[in-house]
Amino acid sequence: MVQDAETRTRIETDSLGELPIPADAYWGIHTARALENFPISKRPISVYPELITALAMVKQASARANRQIGALDAERADLIDRAAEQVIAGRHHDQFVVGVIQGGAGTSTNMNANEVITNIALELAGRPKGDYAFLSPIDHTNRSQSTNDVYPTAIKVGLSLSLGSLLDELGLLRQAFLDKAVEFRDVLKVGRTQLQDAVPMTLGQEFHGFASTLGADQMRLRENAYLLHEINMGATAIGTGITTHPDYGAAVLRHLREISGLDLETAVDLVESTSDTGSFMSFSSSLKRNAIKLSKICNDLRLLSSGPQAGFGEINLPARQAGSSIMPGKVNPVIPEVVNQVAFAVAGADTTVTMAVEGGQLQLNAFEPVIAHSIFQSITWMRQAMWTLRVNCVEGITANRDRLGAMVGSSVGVITALTPFIGYAAAAALAKTALLTRRNVADLVVEAGLMGREEVAKQLSPARLSGLEAVTAAIPIIDTTAHPQPE
**For residue 2, how many other CB atoms are within 10 A of its CB?**
11
Report pLDDT for 443: 86
CA 103 to chain centre: 26
**Looking at residue 442, what is its pLDDT?**
82
Name the phi and psi angles at 331, rounded to 5.
-125, 130
Type of residue numbered 26: Y
* The pLDDT of residue 475: 44
CB–CB of 378/345 below 8 Å?
yes
Strand partners, 14: 17
| Mean pLDDT, range 182-196, rounded to an integer | 89
- pLDDT score for 376: 96
Cα 482 to chain centroid, rounded: 62
Q: In sequence order, what are the residues at sequence separation of 6 or more whose Cβ sits closer than 8 angstroms to the Cβ of residue 484?
A: 448
List pLDDT tens digits, range 386-402: 999 999 999 999 999 98
Q: Are 150 and 84 in contact (CB under 8 A)?
A: no
What's the rounded mean pLDDT across residues 224-246? 91
**Mean of the per-residue pLDDT values of the chain:** 89
Give percent of the chain above pLDDT 90: 65
Q: Tell me the mean pLDDT in the region 442-468.
A: 80
At residue 5, the pLDDT reads: 54
44: β partners = 99
Return the amino acid letter for 210: F
pLDDT tens string 299-310 = 999 999 998 888
d(CA 211, CA 300): 13
> How far apart are the two ends of the chain, measured CA to CA in Å?
100
Over range 51-69, report the average pLDDT: 98
The whole-number pLDDT of residue 469 equals 64
Q: How confident is the model at residue 4 (pLDDT cuts 50, 70, 90)?
A: low
Cis preceding linkage at 484, omega within 30: no
Q: Are 100 and 372 in contact (CB under 8 A)?
A: yes
Catalytic: 324? yes
Closest listed residue to residue 26, CA positions, set 127, 109, 129, 159: 129
- In whole angstroms, give the CA distance from residue 292 to residue 110: 34
Q: How big is the CA angle at 330 (ends 324 and 335), to the nearest 5 degrees?
A: 80
Query: Do residues 480 and 426 lie in contact, with contact meaning Cβ atoms separated by under 8 Å?
Result: yes
Task: Give pLDDT, residue 197.
Answer: 79
CB–CB of 97/31 below 8 Å? yes
CA 136 – CA 114 distance, rounded (Å)? 9
Q: Left if phi > 0, otherwise alpha if psi is -120 to 50, otherwise beta: which for 404?
A: alpha
pLDDT in tens, 309-353: 888 889 999 987 776 778 877 878 899 999 999 999 999 999 999
Give bridge partners of residue 316 from the DSSP assignment: 398
3-state secondary structure of 353: helix
pLDDT of residue 411: 73
Give the span between the Cα atoms of 253 and 40, in whole angstroms: 34
Marked catalytic residue, from 162, 273, 324, 461: 324
